[in-house]
A and B are shown apart, each in its own frame.
Chain A
Amino acid sequence: MSKTILAVDDSGSLRQMLSFSLKAAGYGVVEAVDGQDGLDKARKQTVDLVLTDQNMPGMDGLSLIKALRGMKNYQNVPILMLTTETGDDMKAMGRAAGANGWLVKPFDPARLTEVVKKLIG
């Protein structure tokens, strides 16, 4: 059974690119349009990895990570930030919130799937 990844980004084109890349590598993908949508979908179905943007309307990526880490079934699920943000202060906040890694946009599909494979196989 293929592993499922929750892809959270307010950009429709970026979600499309993520979905295309991850599905091509054999993963199932659940898409969410912002942090709150991501949290709702994560509650309905426990996924194997979360990939989230930081700057989104409503709930941002850091808030989503904190909320997920507060849920029992998401304490050990890998969470990656995929964002345009490059600052060390933001990375430190991501790490403190519970992110397992920081990927700066734009992403390369091969490098992205390599990281995902490393984390969830």
Chain B
Amino acid sequence: MLPQESPSGELPMNTQVMRLLSGVSVHGDQHLAEVERDLVQMDVLLDEAIKKLCTNFMAIHHAVDRQQEALNGLLAGSIPAAECAARFEALRGEIGQHVGAAVTGLQFQDMTSQLIGRMVQHLAGLRDVFGALDTNGAALPESGSEALLALLGDIGSRVGVRSSGVRSTVNQRHMESGDIELF
């Protein structure tokens, strides 16, 4: 059954209140769900990035130790120069690979800062939804009056207007290097 309209064409107060509460709930939930999604994604990216950085930092440290051993062997004359040169070359390549992986891991800041920026926009949207409910301390019009119905209608539409979405620019779920496509 359709709700009865008032003589001025507005919906009855109980319908207006229900619509308002529903709007606050839906839009508030949307903002919070997006913030939750971004937090989970950020947690995954940070976890992978720190693991990648730790692993490669330790590997670089280990390779530098082996470089020092080779150098000591060369200075002591226990390792032939040709063998030592080959070891240095191999270690150089190994260190380069670990540094490259660390550079990939270090890019977490770029992605997480975009996610944080998006979360801030959603939190601002949530604040706006609650802000739309504020009557600025003015006394509410009398219950059942047309002025109250108009006020509820106005608040309801403001809640809807202030809840526009924020497009996600970060969809990465891992800290592995991304695809390359040449046109």
Chain A residues engaging chain B, CB cutoff 8 angstroms: 9, 11, 13-14, 17, 20-21, 54-55, 84-86, 91, 95, 99-111, 115, 118
Contact = CB atoms under 8 A, between A and B. Distances in A.
Interface residues of B, number: 28
A105 B178 contact: yes
A100 B113 contact: no
Given A17-B103, A108-B100, A110-B100, A101 B180 contact: yes
28 contacts: A9-B110, A11-B113, A17-B107, A21-B103, A55-B114, A84-B169, A84-B171, A84-B172, A86-B172, A95-B183, A100-B183, A103-B178, A104-B178, A106-B104, A106-B108, A106-B110, A106-B175, A106-B176, A106-B177, A107-B104, A107-B177, A107-B178, A108-B100, A108-B104, A109-B99, A111-B180, A115-B180, A115-B182
B170 interface: yes
Given A105-B110, A105-B111, A111 B182 contact: no
A96 to B, nearest CB: 10
Given A101-B183, A104-B178, A84 B170 contact: yes
Contacts of A101: 180-183
B55 interface: no
Contacts of B182: 100-101, 115, 118
Contacts of B179: 86, 102-104
Nearest to B180: A103
Contacts of B101: 108
B110 A13 contact: yes
| A9, A17, A20, A84: most-surrounded residue (chain B CB, <10 A) | A84
Contacts of B171: 84, 86
Given A17-B103, A21-B100, A118-B182, 11 more contacts: A17-B107, A100-B183, A102-B180, A102-B181, A103-B181, A105-B111, A106-B108, A106-B110, A106-B111, A106-B178, A108-B101
